[in-house]
Amino acid sequence: MPVGTVASVKGLPQDILEELGVRILLGNTYHLYLRPGVETVRNLGGLHGFMAWPRAILTDSGGFQVFSLNDLSKVTDEGVTFRSHLDGSSHFFSPESAMEAQIGLGADIIMAFDECTEYPADRDRTKASMELTLRWAERSKKYFEEHKGEVPWEYPVASTQYPDSDRTGNWQLGTGYSPTQSLFGIVQGGMDLALRKESAERTVEIGFPGYAIGGLSVGEPRERTREVVEATLEHIPADKPRYLMGVGTPEEIVEYASLGVDMMDCVLPTRAARHGLLFTSEGKVSIKQARYAQDAGPLDPNCGCRVCQRYSRAYLRHLYASNEVLAQVLNTLHNLSFYLDTMRRVRHSIQLGEESRFLSGVWSRPRP
Ligand SMILES: [Zn+2]
């Protein structure tokens, strides 16, 4: 899932996202709640209507940003008091108000309100945080069950308004839509494998149509991430969507998919693009480097995206060096295209049942 923090994947219009084959994107509840505000989005048809995006959307619970963007946030059993990073105004999120916000935003998949345990944290702290997330998961589900009819949707109107242009053909808008949203639970438990198991089992007991693994990519070593993911996945039903939040590099997403992760989101392809860092089949390219100033070749000779088909490395380097807006647009377009191609190849290889061959062969690791 590309990240569209404030109802926009920075640099790319929605028709390009459709052309790239994006089938679901992520919006951040915290940011949208502060600006433009949930009621505004609700009155404009929810996120789908507001941003003119006919395909699927997932919103996070707001918890992660509340904790990561606020040094002064105050957590009690009831919820979290935090200050807006925009104007310093004081706000309060509880499981109930986070659900209310996400129902108003109207994404297809919404997330239970959780506390993302900081890293490092000792066992007592991790356990207390996990218990809080479990209590909040129950309250999130209860509120959702009582209010799930309040979505701002007007399907299937959108299907005629925004015809599907996905050439993969396996996503038909206006068919198979649920009358409401899907609320996913989030497994916490820090880096403690026993607590991860307990958190997973008790979250599954509460019962959700999908499960996320939260609290990773918070500064821990990558080997630790993998270990925790692998240990946690064992305790989440394989017949439900399993969503790993906030990862990763192209190599990492292939690896996590091979472990059984179905969904991932990451700001890396879009954020790195804006800093001139591009992912290619031949490894990472820092397009700002002077070595590309005279390079007439395509950014990635193996990429079919419109940037690689049309422009030279020299031109992309020039745009970046000149601080042109187009540099951000083209860089983002290529990086997202590369990520989506990577996942397409993963899906294809899973369909062919040749995952092991894929992992050892077709995907070539970037050169050091
Ligand atoms: Zn490309």
Tens digits of residue pLDDT in 258-297: 999 999 999 999 999 999 999 999 999 999 999 999 999 9
- DSSP SS3 for 75: strand
**How far is residue 104 from each of residues 91, 107, 285, measured CA to CA in Å?**
17, 9, 41
CA of 311 to the centre of ligand 1 (A): 10
| Backbone φ, ψ for residue 67 (5° rounding) | -80, -40
Q: Which one of the listed residues 108, 114, 265, 300 is annotated catalytic? A: 265
| Backbone φ, ψ for residue 74 (5° rounding) | -120, 120
- DSSP SS3 for 89: coil
Q: Is the pLDDT of residue 170 over 80?
A: no
- Are 332 and 9 in contact by the 8 Å Cβ rule? The answer is yes
Q: Quick one: pLDDT at residue 155?
A: 55
**How far is residue 138 from each of residues 132, 162, 226, measured CA to CA in Å?**
10, 36, 28
- Are 221 and 122 in contact by the 8 Å Cβ rule? The answer is no
Q: What is the DSSP letter of 280?
A: E
Q: Tokens 């990472």 map to which residue?
A: 284
CB atoms within 10 A of CB 222: 14
Average model confidence (pLDDT) across the chain: 91
CA of 223 to the centre of ligand 1 (A): 29
Q: What's the helix, strand, coil split of the chain in %, to 5?
A: 45, 10, 40
**Mean pLDDT computed over 63-67:** 85
60 flagged as catalytic: yes
Q: Quick one: pLDDT at residue 162?
A: 39
CA angle (190 as vertex; 189, 194 as ends), nearest 5: 50
**Banded pLDDT at 160 (limits 50, 70, 90):** very low
Q: Give the whole-angstrom CA distance, residue 328 versus residue 204.
A: 41
Q: Quick one: pLDDT at residue 215?
A: 96
**Mean pLDDT computed over 117-128:** 96
Q: Tokens 């007007």 map to which residue?
A: 154
192 flagged as catalytic: no
CA of 191 to the centre of ligand 1 (A): 36
Q: Give the whole-angstrom CA distance, residue 77 versus residue 132.
A: 7
Q: Which two tokens stand for residue 136?
A: 């909040």
Q: Quick one: pLDDT at residue 169?
A: 35
CA of 70 to the centre of ligand 1 (A): 37
CA of 302 to the centre of ligand 1 (A): 8
pTM (2 decimals)?
0.91
Tens digits of residue pLDDT in 299-318: 999 999 999 999 999 999 99
Q: Is the pLDDT of residue 362 over 70?
A: no
Single out the residue of 246, 160, 162, 230 nearest to residue 191, CA to CA. Answer: 230
Helix or strand run (H / E) with residue 26? strand 24-27
Tens digits of residue pLDDT in 316-342: 999 999 999 999 999 999 999 999 999
Q: Is the pLDDT of residue 366 over 70?
A: no
CA of 199 to the centre of ligand 1 (A): 40
**Mean pLDDT computed over 94-114:** 97
Q: Quick one: pLDDT at residue 71?
A: 76
CA of 305 to the centre of ligand 1 (A): 4
Regarding beta strands 74-75 and 90-93, do their DSSP bridges make them parallel or antiparallel, or are they unpaired? Answer: unpaired
The amino acid that residue 266 corresponds to is C
Q: Tokens 């599907």 map to which residue?
A: 164
Residues 6 or more apart whose CB falls under 8 angstroms from that of 239 comprise none
**Banded pLDDT at 356 (limits 50, 70, 90):** low
**Mean pLDDT computed over 29-54:** 96
**Banded pLDDT at 250 (limits 50, 70, 90):** very high
Single out the residue of 232, 229, 319 nearest to residue 274, CA to CA. Answer: 319
Q: Give the whole-angstrom CA distance, residue 349 versus residue 342.
A: 11
- DSSP SS3 for 205: helix
CA of 359 to the centre of ligand 1 (A): 21
Tens digits of residue pLDDT in 4-16: 999 999 999 999 9
- Are 76 and 92 in contact by the 8 Å Cβ rule? The answer is no
Q: Which residue has the higher pLDDT, 366 or 214?
A: 214
CA of 4 to the centre of ligand 1 (A): 20
CA of 271 to the centre of ligand 1 (A): 16
Q: Is the pLDDT of residue 364 over 50?
A: no
Tens digits of residue pLDDT in 128-156: 999 999 999 999 999 999 999 999 986 54
- Are 316 and 299 in contact by the 8 Å Cβ rule? The answer is yes
CA of 48 to the centre of ligand 1 (A): 28
Q: Which one of the listed residues 60, 108, 114, 300 is annotated catalytic? A: 60
